[in-house]
Structure 1
Amino acid sequence: MALKATIYKADLNIADMDNHIYSDFQLTLALHPSETIERLMVRILAFARFADEALEFTKDLFETNEPALWQKDLTGQLQKWIEVGSPDEDKVKKASARCDQVAVITYGSAVAEWYKRSAKLKTLKNVEVWQLSENTTAEIQKLCERTMQLQLNIMDGEWTLMGGDHQVVVEWTQLQ
């Protein structure tokens, strides 16, 4: 018998004082049986980085031809393609040809080696690569609950994610 996904819900309030953007999002995420809490929480941060009402979580690990998130226009054309982890560079290259904006949110101890081996990525003009620090991904797991109330404050370029009794300073590095 196949294992089923576990559903998580997050109410995400974003207060981006740098850009004067204030929004609330009700997110529903399916945790794939092979997925970690760390990756689930990174997907939430990926959503927050590109937050938009039209941005959607996909089947991702259930469907290998889909990214973690995507955004389509009213005609169904892909606009944004957002990968989480260390994806195959050919998959990112194909997405780059199909979308206006492609992003990779990467994390973990093997990022430097993955990025060094991904020479094709560096030639793609519409691809951004963001790395989350290992400290950030360790700490954000403490915020995870089946139903989460999350507050993200962005001020002077510093991201602070709060939920329950925990608060995490989110450390991003843009690699590309």
Structure 2
Amino acid sequence: MALKATIYKADLNIANMDVHQYGDYQLTMALHPSETIERLMVRVLAYARYASEALEFTKDLFETDEPALWEKDLTGQLVKWIEVGSPDEDKVKKASARCPHVAVITYGSSVAEWYKRSSKLKTLKNVEVWQLSEATTEAIQALCERTMSLQLNVMDGEWTLIGDHAQAVIEWTQLQ
């Protein structure tokens, strides 16, 4: 019998004073048995970076042609394609031809090697790549609960994610 996904819910309140974005988002995410808490929480941060009412989680672990998150306009056309992790550069290149805005949120100890090997990414004008520090991904795991209330504060480029029992300073590095 196959293991089933575990459902996580997050009430995410964003106060981004840098770009004057404020909002409350109710997120429902499925944690696949092969997925880590670290990746789940990175998906939450990816959502927070590009938050909008139309942004949604996909079945990326089941459907290999889908990103972790995407946003479609009212006609069903892709507007944003957001990958989490270290995706295959051909998948990102294909996404960049289909979608005007593509982002990769990468993390882990092998990011530098992955980015160095991904030479095609550097030629794509509509792709941005963000790296989360290892300290960040360690800290955000402490915020994870089956039902979470998270407050994200952004001011002067400093991101702080606050949960019920802990908080994490989010360190982003833009690689592209």
- TM-score when scaled to structure 2? 0.99
| In 2, Cα distance between equivalents of 1:96 and 1:121 | 10
| Counterpart residue number, 1:92 | 92
Percent identity of paired positions between Structure 1 and Structure 2: 84
Residue 61 of structure 1 corresponds to which residue in structure 2? 61
Q: Please give the alpha-carbon distance, in whole angstroms, between the structure 2 residues aligned to 1:165 and 1:57.
A: 25
Partner Cα distance (1:9, 1:138) in 2: 20
Q: Which residue of 1 aligns with 2:21?
A: 21
- Aligned-pair CA distance for 1:116: 0.1
Q: What residue number does 1:37 align with?
A: 37
Alignment partner of 1:162 is 2:169:
no
Alignment of 1:111-150 (within 5 A): 111-150=111-150
Give 5+ residue unaligned stretches, structure 2. Answer: none
SS in 2 for 1:34: coil
Partner of 2:109: 109
| Matches of 1:20 and 1:130, distance apart in 2 | 21
Aligned partner letter, 1:158: E
Distance 1:96 1:36 in 2: 27
Aligned CA-pair RMSD: 0.5
Per the TM alignment, residue 21 of structure 1 is displaced from its structure 2 partner at its CA by: 1.5
- Measured against aligned partners, the alpha-carbon deviations of 1:40-68 in whole angstroms (never above 9, x if no partner) come to 00000000000010000000101111000
CA distance in 2, matches of 1:107, 1:66: 19
CA distance in 2, matches of 1:20, 1:58: 27
Question: How many residue pairs align between the two structures?
Answer: 176
Matching residue of 1:80:
80
Counterpart CA distance in 1 for 2:35 and 2:146 is 15
Deviations 1:19-54 (A, max 9, x none): 221100000000011000000000000000000100
Q: Distance in 1 between matches of 2:131 and 2:80?
A: 18
Q: CA deviation at 1:153?
A: 0.1
Per-residue deviation, residues 95-120 of structure 1 (Å, max 9, x unmatched): 00000000000000000000000000
Letter of the structure 2 residue corresponding to residue 10 of structure 1? A
Contact 1:96 1:126 in 2 (8 A): yes
CA distance in structure 1 between the partners assigned to 2:166 and 2:3 by the alignment: 31
Native 8 Å contact 1:32 1:62 kept in 2: no
One-letter code of the match for 2:68?
A
**Distance of 1:159 and 1:96 partners within structure 2:** 27
The amino acid across from 2:19 in the alignment is N
For 1:62 and 1:140, the matched residues in 2 are separated by 25
